[in-house]
Amino acid sequence: MRREMRILLSLLAGAAALLAQGSADWHAAFPAFKVAGNLYYVGTADLAVYLINTPQGNILINSDFEEDVPTIKKSIEQLGFKYADTKIILISHAHGDHDAATGIIKKDTGAKLMIMDADVAEEQSTAKGRPGAKVDRILHDGDTVELGGSKLVAHLTPGHTKGCTTWTMQVRDGARTLNAVIVGSPNVNPGYILVGNKDYPGIADDYVKTFAVLKSLPCDLFLGAHGAYFGLKAKYAKMKAGDANAFIDPDGYKAYVAERESTFRKEWDRQKQNPGTPAK
């Protein structure tokens, strides 16, 4: 019992340290900018929010926390668009740092909320920290979301959550067409149990499926649910310095996926040797 308590306290301390590290950028304003074509970044310094502008209104991917909505709204308007023109809300996955404010944005704008099937229950939950937002369309792996000539494809990449979604779209940027990949999350968070997980028995197999999917996707524009995934700050600095291709990074995408898969497999192997011990 004492050993279990020490492990629990250690995990909580580690999670608190991680949260404190992330929170500095989680709620910090970041300049809104055009990634390519009609795809824009309107999130914070780490919690990514993407806007797809179309003649029939805008698609928003992620909402961040409730306190971040004014920042997102300001970013949208700084780009010359209207927050009220949000027609569709999507998410990367059902964790508060990406979806806590979906209900607020939905209420403000009248937008339709579309969520991957396995994350619907979490999205509609009224438990503390959950958005309690009514889902208007339930998505399934491979479904498309279309508006005003733009089309996004929802790829189920489960593990991080059961309905974690990686979004892809082809972006017309001048004379070229670029494949954008917005990674949901391939991360094994502190506290995750990969072996003997009673609440999510297939979690490890789902991660394996996720990496297979991620490795199969053609990628020019490497993006993700957190700016840290794809080096947001460094790439933005390069773009401001004149590099028009700063966010085109197929090699960086492949390296990121490979590193995340290696980290997952090491943790999985560790847990196989120590069943019931969660990730740190």
**Which CATH number fits the domain that encloses residue 242?**
3.60.15.10
Number of domains composing the chain: 1
pLDDT at residue 69 above 70?
yes
Task: Confirm whether 10 is domain-assigned.
Answer: no
The first and second tokens of residue 19, run together, are 């949260």
Alpha helices in the chain (DSSP H): 2-26, 69-78, 96-99, 102-109, 120-124, 203-216, 227-230, 232-240, 250-273
pLDDT at residue 127 above 90?
yes
Q: What would the pLDDT profile of 97-124 be if each residue is shown by its tens digit?
A: 999 999 999 999 999 999 999 999 999 9
Average pLDDT rounded to a whole number, residues 230-240: 97
Task: Confirm whether 13 is domain-assigned.
Answer: no
Average pLDDT rounded to a whole number, residues 248-265: 98
pLDDT of residue 22: 52
Task: Confirm whether 114 is domain-assigned.
Answer: yes
Q: What would the pLDDT profile of 31-61 be if each residue is shown by its tens digit?
A: 999 999 999 999 999 999 999 999 999 999 9
Task: Confirm whether 5 is domain-assigned.
Answer: no
Q: What would the pLDDT profile of 133-182 be if each residue is shown by its tens digit?
A: 999 999 999 999 999 999 999 999 999 999 999 999 999 999 999 999 99
Give the structural domain span for 262: 23-273
pLDDT at residue 14 above 50?
no
pLDDT at residue 9 above 80?
no
pLDDT of residue 276: 86
Dihedral, 89, 95, 97, 100 alpha carbons, nearest 10: 60
Task: Confirm whether 159 is domain-assigned.
Answer: yes
pLDDT at residue 3 above 50?
no
Q: Which of 204, 189, 182, 187 is nearest to 253 (CA)?
A: 182
The three-class DSSP label of residue 25 is helix
